[in-house]
């Protein structure tokens, strides 16, 4: 039986209530401030996306509806969410089966942009072991920079032996501040980081054919699948798309990821048609499993949550999904439990006879 697996960056600032002109961060302030505030501050990357939001959380609520719809249609049994805002957990779980349990990245992290992993307990079992870390604080990786912090990774081993990795990767922008193309690529660094943290989490001695990886990797050029794929303990992992494939284009509403060669001045209220989903240029939102064990990952449009320009009014990233082979040793879920109850009921009736 194949199972549906989803990965979705839901925009932490959207979940926190940033919207309209209230999208500026002032150090020391706990709430978003007006873009015209003269005090020194900065805009998060989602500021351009959320300038169009009509009310606090309006876009986030649509993203939740979109998640629930695709989860139902694809019969998703595992979901990895990046840029998770903890107070929204109840809202996220409200449209999922009651069989779903979750693990939330535990440490305090920059911007509180955590990850949360949700799965069907009747198939994969309960939590056996967890490991959390900040990718940006990994020692011994000289390619990391001071602004790489705040990138969570959770590694979860369940009682069925299934392993989930959910992470938000370091970012290497397409353009330098002066507008020239950047030659930096996050993909090779991510491969090194994943190897290090898989070893730290103690999973390299486990059966990695039972590993499912979900992420917003920020691998904008699909390089994590190109030439030399991600390999853990001799097993190659991929999103199911060939190295020559451009990958599932899923990212995102912002000037560089929509193909603009220079950052627009100020903080305009909209990118107009340039910000439409059809103009997204980057890969990076993945579901990865051992090669040959799943359909190619798909990026799903936020439609019908699009404005007149074709721009998302849900999340600035597209949700991605794929069907993957159910790991060995897992159950078939509630159907098996119902069958077991029926057999037990028949045995009780037979004893009475």
Tokens of 19: 């919207």
pLDDT at 173 over 60: yes
**Mean of all residue pLDDT scores within the chain:** 91
Least confident of 204-208, 225-229, 248-252, 253-257: 225-229
Q: How confident is the model at residue 339 (pLDDT cuts 50, 70, 90)?
A: very low
Give the pLDDT confidence score for residue 346 in this predicted structure: 54
Q: Which CATH class is domain 2-352?
A: alpha beta
- DSSP run (H or E) holding 215: strand 211-216
pLDDT tens column, 136-147: 999 999 999 999
pLDDT at 30: 86
CB 49 within 8 A of CB 254: yes
| Averaged pLDDT, 16-35 | 94
18 forms beta bridges with none
Is residue 342 scored above 60 in pLDDT? no
Give the pLDDT confidence score for residue 340 in this predicted structure.
47
Task: Answer whether residue 335 shows pLDDT above 60.
Answer: no
Q: pLDDT at position 336, please?
A: 44
Tens-digit pLDDT profile for residues 51-60 = 999 999 999 9
Residue 353 has pLDDT above 60, yes or no: no
The average pLDDT across 152-177 equals: 93
| Angstrom distances, CA of residue 184 to CA of 77, 151, 251 | 35, 18, 18
pTM of the model: 0.92
Distance between CA atoms of 207 and 286, rounded to whole angstroms? 21
- The predicted-structure confidence for 234-269, as pLDDT tens digits, reads as follows 999 999 998 778 889 999 999 999 988 888 887 789
The residue-averaged pLDDT of 319-345 equals 72
């Amino acid at each position: 039986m194949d199972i549906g697996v989803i990965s979705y960056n839901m925009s932490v600032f959207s979940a926190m209530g940033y919207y309209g002109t209230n999208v500026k961060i002032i150090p020391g302030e706990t709430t978003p401030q007006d873009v015209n505030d003269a005090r020194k501050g900065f805009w998060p990357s989602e500021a351009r996306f959320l300038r169009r939001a009509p009310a606090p959380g309006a876009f986030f609520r649509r993203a939740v509806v979109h998640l629930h719809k695709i989860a139902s249609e694809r019969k998703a049994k595992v979901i990895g969410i990046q840029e998770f805002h903890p107070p929204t957990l109840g809202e996220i779980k409200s449209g999922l089966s009651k069989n779903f349990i979750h693990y939330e990245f535990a440490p305090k992290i920059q911007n509180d942009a955590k990850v949360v992993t949700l799965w069907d307990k009747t198939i994969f079992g309960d939590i056996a072991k967890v490991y959390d870390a900040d990718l940006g604080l990994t020692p011994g990786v000289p390619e990391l920079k001071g602004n790489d912090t705040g990138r969570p990774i959770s590694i979860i081993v369940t009682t069925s032996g299934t392993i989930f990795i959910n992470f938000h990767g370091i970012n290497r922008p397409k353009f330098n501040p002066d507008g020239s193309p950047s030659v930096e690529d996050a993909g090779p660094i991510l491969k090194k980081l994943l190897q290090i943290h898989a070893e730290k989490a103690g999973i390299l001695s486990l059966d990695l054919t039972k590993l499912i990886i979900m992420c917003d990797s920020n691998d904008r050029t699909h390089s994590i699948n190109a030439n030399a794929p991600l390999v853990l303990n001799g097993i190659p992992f991929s999103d199911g798309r060939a190295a020559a494939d451009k990958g599932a284009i899923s990212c995102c509403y912002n000037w560089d990821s929509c193909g603009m060669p220079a950052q627009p001045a100020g903080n305009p209220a909209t990118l107009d048609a340039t910000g439409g989903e059809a103009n997204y240029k980057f890969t990076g939102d993945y579901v990865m499993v051992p090669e040959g064990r799943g359909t190619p990952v798909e990026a799903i449009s936020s439609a019908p949550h699009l404005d007149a320009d074709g721009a998302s009014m849900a999340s600035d990233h597209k949700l991605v999904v794929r069907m993957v082979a159910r790991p060995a040793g897992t159950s078939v879920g509630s159907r098996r439990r119902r069958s077991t109850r029926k057999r037990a009921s028949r045995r009780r009736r037979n004893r009475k006879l």
